[in-house]
Each structure stands twice: as structure tokens, then as C-alpha cells.
Amino acid sequence: MIRFQQGAMHFEIGTLGNHEFDEGLAEYMRIFNGGEPTKQYNKAEMAYPHVKTGINIITANVVNKSDGQIPFGMQPYLIKEIHTSDGKVARIGFIGIETTSLPILTLYDNYKDYDVLDEAETIAKYDQILRKKGVNAIVVLAHTGVSTNKDGSTKGNAVDIIKRLYQIDPNNSVDLYIAGHSHQYANATVGSVKLVQAIYTGKAYDDIIGYIDPTTNDFAPNSLVSHVFPVLSEKDAPNIKTDANVTAIVEDANNRVAPIINKKIGEAATTGDILGRLHNTPTRENAVGELVVDGQLYAAHKVGLPADFAMTNTGGVRADLHVNPDRSITWGSAQAVQPFGNILRVVEMTGAQIVEALNQQYDEDQAYYLQISGLHYTYTDQNDPNQPYKVVQVYDQHNQPLDMNKTYNVVINDFLAGGGDGFSAFKGTKVVGIVGQDTDAFIDYITDMTNDGKPITAPTMNRKIYLTAEQLAKADSDSQSQTGTNRNTQNDANSQTEGNQLQEVPSQPVSPTVTLPTTAGQPAETVTLHGQPKQQTVAAANNQLINLTPTSINGQKQKVADQQAALPQTGNDEDLALLLLGSSLMAATGLTIIDRKRKHA
């Protein structure tokens, strides 16, 4: 018999991230505490045994706007006592931190009742409170991003927060900072703080070992050693044994949802998965993302709404589209790609607003970007470290340049409409109509295309074209040359007209050659366009030391937007993660405390 007992995986402490707000914090707490559903879900969900997790969720910087208190009775920190064999007690403090980027990572209704306080200031506040209680061994659990790269550098919001902590309190007692959120590998030292992040979705775990002195309630100097290890299967590591009860719980859940997720909804033209955001091109396009927006544009037309383009945040495209060996596509595969059920709306945007949105992909360290349908564009370098690229040419599906003053209809989800991922260009746009849920739109698109004799294929990824300044100049030169030829030809023809009146023909720009995307059932079209994007290389190293003194810290307040946010970066980061950690990797945190009395410096 399966035991759905509390704490089957033995997690003890956790904190909030942005996805805990996906359906509102109240719904998360209902699930967390094992409460019965308060609204109707599918049959499998309604019948599932709801069990309290038993995990202590701590959050220090999420407070109610109404009264400034931490919601739902959660605590800002937790003190854990370690009892030694000789009867002594050592104490460790844990502080929970949410990212201040929350307002651009979830829908407005899900965070509108809460304030998220500055991370560094909050850590400094509770660090002092814990020290006054005699707790000097302090661990921060924070949903903030960071990445250690192959060149040995470590950067990200977590690094900036620790630096600001040292600025606020150079004598702080934080020893360990366990990061999350950006789905990357990190193992570094910032000042005297160990900083780690274990990739994402159970691929790795942080393992930290240290000596704590019960007489000081602090880690012995230089005793903390941090590692990020892969989670291995029994096949990869025969000495590792799976937990039979946890395995049974997982298998039971799989069996309950199998009739739903295994339902066939369509077919692909060929076998093999259609790849998503972990397999981006250097221009940050991916096949599944473009398939999603093609489906959204199709969905708008299907319900009779006028739509010229569709755009979605790549962070909402969560998985590759799995194709079975018989080329079938299941409901579960499609739902894994679009799991959130965001509402699609058609909004009015001028050409200038569209260009602004496209350019916002290239700020904030390019942490956020879009998948697009119905248009394509060219971008190039610019000498601005805050925005290294700019969009220079945008064309519609028929290769006509966008009119900056013309109003177009664009399909977006309600997350983007609220300025999600920092795309402020979408905020306040006038709603033309509501399409429906993005999950349903994607599923229906696969079904309709299949039924129409058009099995699903991966789009050609040529909607974002990078040109160097030299290539762009050559394209402009070719365009001018072609314009001159057009004028001479027209002039020769006009010289034969009555009165020999010369009439100048408006010039048409000539672009390098490219095949326009096949979008939402429209045929492909060939035009001219050349150029390949630069390949950027980033990867990871192990336990990089970042030297730090209080006088070396930049005192500027950090931006609210988390530059290392929510999503894995493009291809090379994921290649690096797999290289470091292998293909079978569990995001848990192991903290081993060994009582060995040592002189405290």
C-alpha cells in the first residue's frame, strides 16, 4: 500500500519563488497544507489524496500591503538546533528571500496584495536579529539568479545582493547563500559567503559541509566547503538506491494522469522531438516557441479576431514538444510546452511600439526575449553596453516594412500585457478581443493542422536576422544601387511618354536573401537577406573566489529587474550544465554539520 505520508522526501526548509504565485499565494498555501481543492479541477486532481508537506516555508521580504505583515503566518527565518553526541547544542539560522523581480514574473492579480522588500536590506535586518539571539551561523535561501561561467567569472543578481549586503553591514555573519531562479550552475565565494545554485528541475544538488562550534554558534573559519553534484540514477551509480515509497508515490501519480496526458491530439510530419528554449539558435529563436506563436496567430483568426502578428515570452514555453515513434503527439506533450493557461488577447500596437518591444529583448543582459509570428526583422550591433543590439528593419509576412505610425493587431498573453519579463511596451495596449487560453490554443492548433492534412513540422528559424555593421552597410549600398537602376529604367520608359515628362518612381529597399517564415498556415515566400548572428560563448567553472572589501562595493541601488532571471540562457549555458553535471542530475540542498570544537577566530 502506498503511504502518502507527510515529508516523504525529507525536505525540511524552503522559501517562495515566483511560480508559487502562479495561481495566487492562497492557492499555493492550500496545496502546501494539503487542503481540499476550492475549485473544480480534472477528475485525477479531485480524487488525489491531499497531504500536508510538513516543510517550513520561510520568507522574510514578502509582506502584505495592508498591514506590512508576512502573509499566511509564514516566518521570516528559522533557527535549527543541532544536538551533538556529548549533549551540546549548536544553532543555525535560515533566512528566506523572494526576488524583487516578482512583479514582472507573474500576473498582477497574483502579487497585487503584496510588497517584496529589498533583498539585501532584508537579509541585513534579519542577520542582525539572529546575531542578537546568539546565532552566528547563517544560511540564506533565496530565489535569485546567478551563474558561474567557464571563464571562472560568477555574475548575477545573487552576487549583486551579497555585495550590497557587505555595503550595508561589512560585519554581517552570512556564511552560505543558496540561490535559485536562473536555472544555472554556480559555485563561488563572494566576500566570505559561499554561493551555490544547482541548475534546475532536479538535475543537481548543492552539498555543503562545514564545522560548527557550539560555543559560538558559528562555522569554524574556512571550514565551509561547497559542491554542486549531479543527481545520478541507479544505472549511473549502482551504490545509490532509490526510495521505494517516493518511487511508488510518483508511479501512482503517473498512473492517475495517464488517461489524460496520453490522449493523442495530432501528428508530426517526422519522428523526433521539436526542440524548445534549451536549443535556441544564436538569435534566440527556437522551433517550439515559433510553433506556439504560429498557433496563437491561427487561434485568433479561428475565432474571427483580426491579428497581424503574435508574440510570446520564451519563458512561457517550458519544454520540447515530444513526438512519439509513431509520429503521434499527445495532450501531455503539448501541455508540457504551454502549461500555464495564460489568457491570449489581441491588442492594438503601433509599428513604433512593436519595434520598442523587440528592442526590449536586448536590454537587461538579454535575459528575456520573444518568439514571434507574422513578422521578421534585422538587428545589428550598437555601442551601448546596456543594450548591445538594436532592431533596424522590421517587415510583415509579405516583406513590407512596418509603418511606425500604423496600428497593428498583435496576439499576446496577459502576462506580457502586464509588462511581464520587463516588456513595458505591451502595457496599456488597447484590447481588441480575447482569444482564449494559450494551452488550449496550442493543443487545438496541433489537432486542426493534423486534421487539415498538415502534420506538425518545425518552423524554419529565420525570423530574427543578425547583420554586422558591414553587412548592413553593404545591404544599404546594394539597395541604393538597385534604386538607381530602377530610376534609370523608369526614366527611360517615361521619356517615351507624352511631353517627355519625367516621373520618379519611389525606391524600394533591397534586403539580403531569406525565405520568409511559413506562418499560421501561410505559404513560404523568398526574399533577399544575408548574414549570420555572432555566436556567443558562455559556460561554467568551479568555486570561483570573488575578492571583496566593503570599500570596493558600488553603492548604487540594484535594479528591481533581475538580470539573471527566470529562464536558462541560450544553448551554451545548457551545454555547459550537461557537461558539468551529466544528463541525469535533483535540486536538493545537503548541509552537513559536524561538531568539532575549534578555536573561533
pLDDT in tens, 267-291: 999 999 999 988 999 999 999 999 9
CATH of domain 283-468+514-527: 3.90.780.10
pLDDT surpassing 70 at residue 549 = no
CA quadruple 453, 516, 381, 347: dihedral positive or negative?
A: negative
DSSP string, 78-133: EEEEEE-TTS-EEEEEEEEE--TTGGGTS-HHHHTTEEE--HHHHHHHHHHHHHHT
pLDDT surpassing 80 at residue 565 = no
Residue 485 banded pLDDT, cuts 50, 70, 90? low
Segment 122-132, tens digit of pLDDT: 999 999 999 99
Q: What's residue 235's pLDDT?
A: 82
Segment 342-367, tens digit of pLDDT: 999 999 999 999 999 999 999 988 88
Domain 13-200+540-576 matches domain 283-468+514-527 at the CATH topology level: no
pLDDT surpassing 70 at residue 573 = no
Residue 486 banded pLDDT, cuts 50, 70, 90? low
User: And the C-alpha cell for 128?
Assistant: 542582525
Segment 150-159, tens digit of pLDDT: 888 999 999 9
Architecture of the domain whose range is 13-200+540-576: 4-Layer Sandwich (3.60)
Sketch the domain layout of the chain as residue ranges.
Answer: 13-200+540-576, 283-468+514-527
Q: Looking at per-residue confidence, does 184 or 293 come out higher?
A: 293
At CB < 8 A and 24+ separation, what contacts does 234-239 make?
235/584, 236/582, 236/584
Segment 36-57, tens digit of pLDDT: 998 888 888 898 988 899 999 9
Q: What's residue 4's pLDDT?
A: 67
What is the dihedral angle through the alpha carbons of 563, 565, 569, 575, rounded to the nearest 10 degrees? 120
Predicted TM-score (pTM) of the model is: 0.70
Residue 298 banded pLDDT, cuts 50, 70, 90? very high
Distance CA 294, CA 309 (A): 9
Segment 83-124, tens digit of pLDDT: 877 888 889 999 999 999 998 888 888 999 999 999 999 999
